[in-house]
Amino acid sequence: MDDFGRLPPDDYQLAGQVHHRLRRAHQRASAIFIDLIGDSLLTPTQWAALATLYARVRCRRTSSVG
């Protein structure tokens, strides 16, 4: 039997749950990203991927010059 539809115990505290804290941290990080980057069409994940690719290309160019 699943737990869907069952009420949580009276002493259940959502703020103390790990999944709730992780979700809140993700929301905060996303808000900071939007504040710093601005209203972009890129998501934080897409921006991180592009930044990683840029760093790798720059690193290869630097190492091939010397």
Which of residues 36 and 2 earns the better pLDDT score?
A: 36
pLDDT exceeds cutoff 80 at 2: no
Task: Report pLDDT digits (tens) over 3-57.
Answer: 777 877 888 888 888 999 999 999 999 899 889 888 778 888 898 899 999 998 8
* Tokens standing for residue 41: 């069409």
Tell me the C-alpha to C-alpha distance, in Å, between residue 17 and each of 14, 26, 45, 57. 5, 14, 25, 41
d(CA 16, CA 5): 21
Asked whether the predicted pLDDT for residue 64 surpasses 80, the reply is no
Q: With beta carbons less than 8 A apart as the criterion, state whether 47 and 40 touch.
A: yes
Distance from C-alpha of 56 to C-alpha of 61, rounded to nearest angstrom: 9
Q: What band does 60 get if pLDDT is binned at 50, 70 and 90?
A: confident
Asked if 44 and 33 touch (Cβ cutoff 8 Å), the reply is yes
